[in-house]
Structure 1
Amino acid sequence: MPDAKRPASPFGPLDFQLVLLRRMADHNPDLVENARHELGVPIADMREANKRWQAMLHAPRGRAAASRYRSILGTPESSVHRKIGDLDCEARQWPVPLWPDLRFEVLTAPNGAVWNEWLVRAPGATPPPLHTLDDLTPWSCTVDEAARAFAPARPLEGTAPTRWGLAFTAPDTQGVRHRCAAEFTWGLLQRTAISD
């Protein structure tokens, strides 16, 4: 009789980092490969983590998004009330060991619905200097940082879930301004294209 398949270990912070990386692999496979090696995880484990994540998202009686993050990542490092325009929400943040200067942030409505989930700069961490197109390297900044550095920026529809885009104008190193479109995955910059 064949051995019974051993039960899967609980889905935890390492698995969640692999899910973040899996989405980023479409744009920056080399960075993802280096990060996966840094985590000491084989590629099969990254595929398995993504498969389990997708199963959780689509389970008929799965957890609500807010409680799913708490069960995976534990108690948030911080949880603060935030007002965005007329909207009241709670911002919960967790550390992400792969990116020590970032936090995974989940914004929830008063009824517990998740409005947004992405990587942001950790409180007190120094944001990157963003002055020219050359500063916009993959994984260098978050959506909010790019939008502030190159204001006014206009949001663009993402090409897939967990992806965001920004349109803005930025100078090159010679001071010539260009219309640009930047793409972010889980809130972290993946690529920038000149559109003019």
Structure 2
Amino acid sequence: MTDLIQTTGPGRPTPLDLQLVLLRRMADHNPGLVEDARRELGVSAAEMREANKRWQAAVRSPRARSAAARWSSVLGPPESTAARRVGGLDCEARRWPVPLWPGLRFEVLAGPDGTVWNEWLVRAPGARGPELRTLEDLTPWSCTVDEAARAFAPARPLEGTAPTRWGLAFTAPDGDGVRREVVAEFTWGLLQRTALREP
């Protein structure tokens, strides 16, 4: 049986759709950035809504493949794969380029049975990451979850408000060198906003 999710064809998700789905989730926090990115991709707001509809229909279809197979059927073969150990469990990290963010890759961590453990944006191998020293460096879309956690260790993970969202709590200096308690929010692994924690 032909997989429901293919890279071409009316009514089926495409690699462009993936970028639009990522942006759709980010629009709650950064509508201006999302609008600029949508225009850069050359699609209308209506086309963005349709892409999300196609994606949701494909994901919820009873004929859809496993999540791991779904990504490959939409994006094609991954640019790279690597064995990885998370805690005491083995998995495979699969990465695809995302033209909208050339310095990032879309990473899927898949277990031996094809179950997806995580789906998010990470820094591309060899790409230079941001220099994160103070709160002022934490601008929207500037860094990934891993980069913020390393720069401001120790960071404590927080439960996200949706499946594609993550949070981190950590201490970081402001421009005057005063250390502040911060909560950073991420969508698909990319920083969206920060807020000072209430004492």
Report TM bin, short chain: over 0.9
Q: Aligned pair count?
A: 190
TM-score by length of 1: 0.95
- Structure 1 unmatched ranges of 5 or more: 1-6
2:125 to 107, 123, 126: 123
Root-mean-square deviation (CA, aligned residues, Å) is 1.0
Q: Which amino acid aligns with 1:14?
A: L
- CA distance in structure 1 between the partners assigned to 2:187 and 2:123 by the alignment: 14
Runs of 4+ in structure 1 deviating by more than 2 angstroms, as ranges, are none
Question: What residue in structure 1 maps to residue 43 of structure 2?
Answer: 41
What pairs with 1:80-95 in structure 2 (closer than 5 Å)? 80-95=82-97
Q: Secondary structure at the match of 1:52?
A: helix
Among all aligned residue pairs of Structure 1 and Structure 2, give the percentage whose two residues are the same amino acid.
74
What pairs with 1:1-196 in structure 2 (closer than 5 Å)? 8=10, 10-196=12-198
- CA distance in structure 1 between the partners assigned to 2:77 and 2:45 by the alignment: 28
CA deviations 1:154-187 (Å, max 9, x no partner) are: 0000001100000100000111001110100000
How far does residue 57 in structure 1 lie from its aligned partner after superposition?
A: 1.9
How far does residue 9 in structure 1 lie from its aligned partner after superposition?
A: 5.1
TM-score by length of 2: 0.93
Q: Secondary structure at the match of 1:191?
A: strand
| Kept after mapping to 1: 8 A contact 2:106/2:122 | yes
- CA distance in structure 2 between the partners assigned to 1:91 and 1:185 by the alignment: 19
CA deviations 1:3-42 (Å, max 9, x no partner) are: xxxx725421111100000000000000000000000101
Q: Secondary structure at the match of 2:47?
A: helix
CA deviations 1:94-113 (Å, max 9, x no partner) are: 00000000000000111111
